[in-house]
Amino acid sequence: MALSRGLRCCQRVFSWIPVLIITSVVLWSYYAYVFELCLFTLTSTLEKVVYLLVFHVCFGMFSWTYWKSIFTPPASPCKKFQLSYSDKQRYEMEERPDAQKQILVEIAKKLPIFTRAQSGAIRFCDRCQVLKPDRCHHCSVCETCVLKMDHHCPWVNNCVGFSNYKFFLLFLSYSILYCVYIAATVFQYFLKFWVGDLPNKPAKFHVLFLMFVALMFLVSLMFLFGYHCWLVAKNRSTLEAFSAPVFVSGPDRNGFNVGIRKNLLQVFGENRRLWFIPVFTSQGNGHYFPLKNQTSESQNPLLANEDMWEESDDGSEEGSLVEDQDPSVTIEMEE
C-alpha cells in the first residue's frame, strides 16, 4: 500500500511538468517582449505604449483561459446515476453476467441513458460504481468518470470535458492570438537584428528566439484548434471521433449532431456576449444531450426536462425524466 501511494504521489508531481514547461516559456516570452523588445529596443514612446497595451490584453486573456482550463474540476455523474444500496447489493450478489446486465437495464429505465457499450449492454463503471451518462467516460489519470469527456490533456494536467471544454477552446484561440501578435510585431525587428541593422546586444537573442518560438507554437496550435472546431461543428468529442457512440440502433458518429448552430450553442451558450469570456455558459448539466432524431423541445431532455431533473436530485429514486423518455427506447431496452 505504501509503495502504491508513493508511486501515485510521484505520478501526480510529474504530471505537472508539462504545465511548468508551458508556464516557463510564457513567462520568458513576457520578459523578452516587455523588457528586451519594448523597453530596451523600441525607441518610439507611442509604439511602446501601443505594443505594451495590446500585448497585455492578449497575455491576460491567454493566462485567464489557461488557468480556467487547468483548475476547473472535471464534472462527474450526479448521485442519480449511482447505484442505490439495495441495487448495489443485488448487483454484487448476482453472479450471472446476464442477470447483472438485466439489473442495470432496469435501473437505466429511470435515467436518460441512450448510449450503450460495444456489446449492447448498459455502460457501467465498476471503479466508480455509476451508470455512465451519455458521452461520459472513466479517466484513468483523474481516477473518476468525467461528463462528456473529450480527452485528458497533459498540457493542462486536467481532463477536458463538459465543465471546461469551452475554456479549453478559448485557451487554444487566445494562444493563437498571442502567438500571432508576437510574431507580427516582432517580425520587423527580427529582420533588423538578422541583417545587422541593429547592434548586437542581449536583446538580439531574445527577439530572434521569440520569433522562432511564436511561429513554432502557432503552427501546432492552428492544427489542434482547427481539429476541435471541426469536432464542435459535428458535435463530437475526441473519443467519439475515434470510436462512434453506440445507441440501441447501433453505432452512429452523428448521433449527437443537431446542426452547426445548435452544436455551437451547446458549448458556448445562448448569450453571445459571453462566448469569448472564460465563464461557464454551456447548455445543460452534462448528463444528457439532444439526439439527432430528437429535434423538438418536448423530445429533448436537455431543454424540456433540465429543471425537473435538477429538482429530482433531492433523493427521489424514480426520477422525473422517466415520464418523458422516448417510449420506443424504453421498449427496445426491455427487449
Question: Active-site residue numbers?
Answer: 153
* Pair type for strands 124-125 and 115-116: unpaired
Whole-number Å distance between alpha carbons of 156 and 175: 13
Whole-number Å distance between alpha carbons of 243 and 247: 12
Extract the C-alpha cell encoding 129. Answer: 460504481
- The answer to whether the CB of 134 falls within 8 A of the CB of 245 is yes
Whole-number Å distance between alpha carbons of 323 and 333: 15
Give Dmax (Cα) for the chain: 81
Whole-number Å distance between alpha carbons of 179 and 36: 17
Spell out a b/e string for 10-31, using b for 16 or more CB atoms within 10 Å of the CB, else e: eeeeeeeeebeebeeebeebee
Identity of the amino acid at 127? R
Whole-number Å distance between alpha carbons of 172 and 230: 14
- The answer to whether the CB of 66 falls within 8 A of the CB of 171 is yes
Whole-number Å distance between alpha carbons of 102 and 96: 10
Residue indicated by cell numbers 482550463? 69
